[in-house]
């Protein structure tokens, strides 16, 4: 799994990049079972969206992942950058579990994407 990280309206410090890689990397065990011929790429964006808020910064985290037959995109907002990353990681895991369940046939037999 390759993680591409982008920052909008803020400077990404090495510590925040490491935090993103750690949190999104925790989904790697789920993602690797969907890799067929090549490694999948995860696009992660962290942005500061404070122009419509009156007090303090609001951070926006978004993750986009292209899987065979589907693109998963999740987003979260929070007043703390790390909390926004945690929220988007939880949403990503939820969507990956849903995708895994859909790729398993209804009759109970396993497909090439299941465990």
Local confidence pLDDT in tens for the 115 residues of the chain: 889 999 988 889 999 999 999 999 998 888 887 777 778 899 999 998 866 655 667 899 999 999 888 899 999 999 899 999 999 999 999 999 888 888 775 445 555 555 5
Per-residue pLDDT, 83: 95
From CA 54, how far away is CA 67, in angstroms rounded?
A: 38
Locate 18 and state its tokens: 């490491």
Domains and CATH numbers, the chain: 2-103 (3.30.160.100)
Q: What is residue 34's three-state secondary structure? A: helix
H or E element at residue 90: helix 81-103
């Amino acid at each position: 799994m390759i993680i591409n990280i982008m920052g909008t309206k803020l400077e990404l410090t090495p510590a925040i990049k490491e935090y993103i890689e750690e949190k999104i990397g925790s989904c790697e065990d789920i993602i690797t079972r969907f890799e067929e011929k090549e490694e999948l790429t995860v696009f992660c964006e962290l942005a500061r969206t404070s122009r419509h808020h009156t007090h303090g910064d609001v951070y926006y985290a978004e993750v986009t992942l292209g899987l065979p037959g589907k693109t998963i995109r999740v987003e979260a907002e929070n007043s703390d950058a790390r909390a926004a990353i945690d929220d988007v990681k939880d949403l990503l895991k939820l969507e990956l579990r849903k995708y895994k369940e859909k790729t398993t046939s209804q009759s109970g037999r396993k497909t090439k994407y299941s465990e």
